[in-house]
Amino acid sequence: MQSVAQVTSSTDQRSLADSVTSMHLLPNNIALKSMNAERLLTRFLQYVQIDTTANDAVSDYPSSPGQLELGQLVVQQLQEMGASNVSQDRHGIVMATIPAHDRPHAPVVAFNAHFDTSPETSGKQVRPQVIRNFDGQDLSLPGDRTQVITAATCAELPLAKGQTIVTSDGTTLLGGDDKAGVAIIMELANTLLESREILHGPVRLLFTCDEEIGRGVRHVDLERLAADVCYTFDGGGRDTVDHETFSADLATVTIRGVNIHPSIAKGKMCNAVRGLCELVMRLPRDLAPETTDKRQGFLHPYSIEGGVAQSQVRILLRDFDTAKLTEHAAVIHRAAREAEQAVAGIRIDVEIRKQYRNMAEGLAKDPRAVNLAVEAHKRLGREAQLSIVRGGTDGSQLTEKGLPCPNLSSGQHNIHSPLEWASLDEMVAACEVGIAIVQRWGEA
């Protein structure tokens, strides 16, 4: 297994110009230059080592300073490659333009990815490990040998045999969600600026913050973005087009009790921790994420904090059928009432906040967003898999706001986990899809 330092050394010895540059001849006789895989990898390794963990406990946007730091690096790199209208606003949102090439009046295509990583696993001091010509076998991570990526729990692992993959060292997440997407878009932009044979309309780039805590597009100015269609690179594997997501709400449940020294607590103490436990135990097991799949929704208590006087649990509400979120909310309210009865003296407040909605309804209003992405895959000799995603993306909210925005593959696997890994080969494939998409929209 190579360390990052070893990989950097080998990259220094090999000119970036010598990386993958094969030509794919598309049906419309346009030569498509492959992405510069080593440049993509170098940027990806830079990005994942910047701590951009989202923080739901604060109201600031962005919620962590690392997101501003990563945005500043991206701005610098965009300016160096020659992108136009590059900016980072006071909220940390980065936008840029790749000018049209021979298609100035074509629809404006935007690409989106987010800077932040999930707060569910630490993103501090990420130590990426690059493995070339991966053997496809179960993989023990060097920073914590108890962390083992296995084919039994990740069916995609053996399919990556022969590829270049990147993992963390097992003590943190990797951050491929969504720094793989950021790196893909940066390489896509670089290639469009370098390759004069690729004809396309105007392309806009959009990098957001705090997607992982449901705030990704809160400060996005769609009039300023001025795009007709958008695609997020925030999905797993390769050659998928996510055209449907969960609808999502967040419940914050606060349990209030009475604290007093335990030596004199009889008849006086009302333990909020016991109330929290009673509530969580009353959430149906058949509505847990670990017991549901496919189109089934769930209730997911994912964060607890507090003590005797006050405790709090956050619960994700998810379903493809938006109307069922009301039913899930009723389950939480019922569990709260029952917990109040079980632990005398406690009081429970339930606050439910809207997060995002299923993108399917919005995409139905402009089928071209999905259809042209499928056609782009065909031009590359691939078959796109239309899929649903048991989660959400910035595309969910952008679509709800009126900008159709399907989600595309970006080579991510085992996200939000120390067992996370990403495939460089799949990131390159995603770049090629992005190029084919802007070509196809250039003909629309």
Q: What is the pLDDT of residues 319-340, one digit of tens each?
A: 999 999 999 999 999 999 999 9
Considering only CA atoms, which of 273, 320, 264 is closest in space to residue 295? Answer: 320
272-281 vs 324-342: helix crossing angle, rounded to 10: 140
End residue of a domain, out of 337, 355, 373? 355
CATH label of the domain that carries residue 56? 3.40.630.10
216 and 272 in a single domain? The answer is: no
Query: What CATH number did the domain enclosing 301 receive?
Result: 3.30.70.360
Read off the tokens for 275. 């109330």
Over residues 424-442, the pLDDT tens digits come to 999 999 999 999 999 999 9
pLDDT of amino acid 17: 32
What's the pLDDT score for residue 19? 35
Give the separation between CA 340 and CA 347, rounded to whole angstroms.
6
Of the residues 355, 388, 418, which one is the last residue of a structural domain?
355
- Edge-to-edge strand order for the sheet containing 298-306? 298-306, 310-319, 247-256, 347-356
Same domain, 181 and 238: yes
Using CA of residue 69, residue 72, residue 76, residue 81, what is the dihedral sign?
positive
Residue 207 and residue 282 in one domain: no
Q: What is the pLDDT of residue 33?
A: 54
Asked if residue 269 and residue 159 are part of one domain, the reply reads no
Q: Which residues pair with 158 in a beta bridge?
A: none
pLDDT in tens, 249-281: 999 999 999 999 999 999 999 999 999 999 999
Contact 28, 379 (CB under 8 A): yes
Q: How many domains does the chain have?
A: 2
Residues 200 and 173 reside in one and the same domain: yes
Sign of CA dihedral 389, 395, 400, 402: negative
> Which of residues 355, 380, 402 is at a domain's end?
355
Q: Which pair of tokens denotes residue 5?
A: 């330092």
- CA distances (Å), origin 146, targets 143, 170, 171, 417: 9, 8, 10, 13
> Do residues 215 and 86 both lie within one domain?
yes
- Do 236 and 270 share a domain, yes or no? no
What pLDDT, on a 0 to 100 scale, did the predictor assign at position 34?
A: 58
Judge if 222 and 310 occupy the same domain.
no
Q: Which residues are catalytic?
A: 116, 211
In this structure, the answer to whether residues 363 and 351 fall within a common structural domain is no
Same domain, 177 and 28: yes
Is the backbone of residue 152 left (phi > 0), alpha (psi -120 to 50) or beta?
A: alpha
Give the span between the Cα atoms of 394 and 214, in whole angstroms: 8
Q: What is the mean pLDDT of residues 196-220?
A: 94
Give the model's pLDDT for residue 197. Answer: 87
The mean pLDDT of 217-233, rounded to a whole number, is: 97
Q: How many C-beta atoms lie closer than 10 Å to residue 260's C-beta? A: 15
C-alpha closest to that of 423 among 154, 101, 215? 154
The mean pLDDT value for 350-372 works out to: 94
Same domain, 263 and 362: no
Interior angle at CA 413, CA 325 and CA 132, nearest 5: 170
Instruction: Report the percentage of the chain scoring pLDDT > 70.
Output: 92
- Say yes or no: 195 and 238 in one domain: yes
Is the Cβ–Cβ distance between 394 and 216 less than 8 Å?
A: yes
Host domain of residue 101: 4-245+358-442
Per-residue pLDDT band for 153 (boundaries 50, 70, 90) equals very high
3 has pLDDT over 70 = no
